[in-house]
Amino acid sequence: MSILRETTTAIKVTIGLWVITAVIYPLLILGIGQLFPYQANGSLLRNAQGQVVGSALIGQPFASDRYFWSRPSTTSYSTADPATDEAGILKTGVSGASNFAPSNPDLLERVQETIVTLKQAGIEPTADLVYTSGSSLDPHITPEAARSQIPRITTARSLDPNQVEILITQNTDGRFLGIFGEPGVNVLRLNLALDRI
């Protein structure tokens, strides 16, 4: 085969495979996605007025005593103040991690500060609350981390601990088939449930 023929074949194959794998295939999946709008659009949660208040899969930051706290996040769960958002976080959304090595002194320093904050709030420092997550958007905390926040919530909201305990159980995502992954309490869904009481 001459160089010209080989080049022509390469160009034709480039375009042919592009049409199949980069155009037809994604369009097919996008089309199927239309049949499942909740999942396809990111499992968005709406309030009674129909406003989107977040996603069932994406965490939110919480600081108030009336809410369960999420894990510490390096991007504050992709939130920003619209007035000072020079980095354009609210334009695209972000994710990110600390990337601290276990030997990094900055990690230890941050952990020590977190421990102080948690202890002041009367929360037992569990691994998930001490360490930042991988995505900075982790929607879950461990069931232990949720239970150790019950006294704080019941005091702030004057609720019965048993009632809160039930809400935690209702908003816990278990392991797949009881085997794969770890159970996690979905903090946003739990806090939405608290507000509905």
Partner 1 sequence: MSQGLLQIAITLAIVVIIVPFFGSYIANVFLDKPTILDRLATPLETTLYRILGIRAEAEMTGWPYIRAVLYSNLTMAIFVFVLFALQGVLPLNPTGLAAPTWDTTLHTVISFITNTNQQHYSGETTFSYGSQMLGLGYFMFTSAATGFAVAIAFIRGLTGRPLGNFYVDLIKVITRILLPISTIGAVILLLAGVPETLAAPAVVQTLEGGSQAIATGPVAHFEIIKELGENGGGFFAINSAHPYENPNGFTNLIETVALLSIPTSLIITYGIFAGNKKQGWLLFGLVFIIYVGLISITAWGEFVGNPLVNQAVGNNLVNLEGKEVRFGWAQSSLFAVSTTGTMTGAVNALLDSFMPTGGFSVLFNLFLQIVWGGQGTGTSYLFIYLILTVFLTGLMVGRTPEIFGRKIEKPEIALASIILLVHPIAILIPSAITLAFPEQLAGVSNPGFHGLSQVVYEYASAAANNGSGFEGLADGQPAPTGLWWNLSCSVVLLAGRYIPIMALLLLADGMRQKQLVPETTGTLRTDSFLFTTVTGGVILILGALTFLPVLALGAIAEAFQLSS
**Closest separation between CB of residue 78 and partner 1, Å?**
5
Nearer to partner 1, 22 or 162 (CB): 22
Q: Is 44 helix (H, G, I), strand (E, B) or coil?
A: strand
Nearer to partner 1, 160 or 182 (CB): 182
**Closest separation between CB of residue 121 and partner 1, Å?**
15
**Closest separation between CB of residue 123 and partner 1, Å?**
12
Nearer to partner 1, 150 or 187 (CB): 187
Nearer to partner 1, 65 or 162 (CB): 65
Q: Which residues of 168-193 are buried (b: 16+ CB within 10 A; e: fewer)?
A: beebbbeeeeeeeeeebbbbbbbbbb
- The C-alpha atoms of residue 115 and residue 147 are separated, in whole angstroms, by 17
**Closest separation between CB of residue 27 and partner 1, Å?**
9
Here the tokens at position 138 are: 């982790």
Determine contact, residues 152/121, Cβ cutoff 8 Å: yes
